[in-house]
Copies of this chain bind each other. A is one copy, B any other.
Amino acid sequence: MTDEKNSYLFPADRLKDFSTQVFMHFGIFEADARQAADVLAKSDLRGIDSHGVARLHTYVDMLELGRINPKPNIKIVREKASVATVDGDNGLGLIVGPKANEIAMDKAETYGSGWVGVCNSNHFGIAGYYPLKALERDLIGWAMTNSTKLVAPLWGAERMLGTNPMAIAFPGYKEPPIVIDMATSAVAFGKIEIALRKKTEIPRGWIIDREGRDTTHPQDMITGGAQLPLGFEREMGGHKGYCLASMVDILCCVLSGANWGPFAPPFFVNQEMPARSVGKGIGHFFGAMQIDGFIDKDEFKKQIDDWIHVFRKTKPAPGTNGPLIPGDPEREAEVLRSQAGIPLIKPVVDDLLNISRKTGIPLDVESLNP
């Protein structure tokens, strides 16, 4: 989360309108632009600053260079009752993802479940966005994506996998939903970036240096190091994090015909293109399950409420207030930020002003206090 004291507070809608207009400036249809802006806005609202408007400039860079197709013809290329593969036609992941997720949800309502692999896409924002959409239709939603290589497999000394997140959400009855959204690496890359900015050490187990050695210096990541998978070493289950990242990679890419493993195309324009292409673009995997196909929907939701109550009453570990329920921090951020606005640090505001100058789309910053 952003250091809110040194931040500009933007009303969420103002940022969303700005993103929408920026996307439209690059030839994206209005409905698609609104959709893409909605994914970014949800990320900012939920406190996942790294995946919100802070990334708008990266999408803009790609659109400017013609590396992303602003008017993709997103289509199903293969299908059977409850499953399908979607080709995203090199569109923004923020547009391709929601369309493919909708196909999975429609299938779930017809066949009890729907599973959609996606190839030829680009980064799709926060994985958690997609199961949140499923909740609106009272479905259990799943989402995964691969991403540019950053993570070494256990016992490897080079980047071979993305931080490959997975998300899933379950609706409650009176309680808010349980929302899981997690990278399969030990930590998010953003935490290493923060240490770099603050010039602090990081814990052993987050990264290795370019020779594959343990290190606590975040700058080793910049000079050819790699992140470690969840569990980080054999003794602590590092093979499990590697297994999860592999599972996400195979479901998202091998199953859909996208670029798997180290061949995922880069997200940033200044990153090197992989030596080989083994498929099309990056890949996602969406799932939706209709609760009523398994159990009475209200019974399920009431049991989820009970689950939440029981887990909230867990005896707390010393020095803590006890376990959270998955999704608690993001929901609390959303409540707060819907009211107070989205805090953006100066470098992010500067990026947005730069986009504003470039596109001629106004962004009123004057009225805000840093």
- Chain A interfacial positions (CB closer than 8 Å to B): 78-85, 110-113, 115, 117, 140, 152-158, 160, 168, 170, 178, 180, 182-187, 203, 205, 208, 211-213, 230-232, 235-237, 239-244, 246-247, 249-250, 254-257, 260-262, 278-279, 289-295, 299-300, 303-304, 306-307, 310-311, 314-318, 320-324, 326
B314 and A111 contact, CB distance less than 8 A: no
Complex Cα–Cα for A185 and B318 (A): 20
Q: Across the interface, do A254 and B154 meet the contact criterion of CB distance under 8 Å?
A: no
A322:B178 contact, CB within 8 angstroms: no
What DSSP secondary structure best describes chain A's contact surface? mixed
Partner of A304, one of B115, B254, B289, B294: B254
B318 pairs with A178, CB closer than 8 A: no
A203 touches B236 (CB 8 A): yes
Q: How many angstroms from the CA of A84 to the CA of B112 in the assembled complex?
A: 9
B294 engages A157 (CB within 8 Å): no
The reply to whether A320 and B155 form a contact with Cβ atoms under 8 Å apart is yes
Q: Would A154 and B323 count as touching, CB distance under 8 A?
A: yes
Known pairs A250-B307, A257-B295, A290-B80; A321 contacts B182 (CB<8 A)? no
Whether the pair B111, A158 counts as a contact (CB closer than 8 A) is no
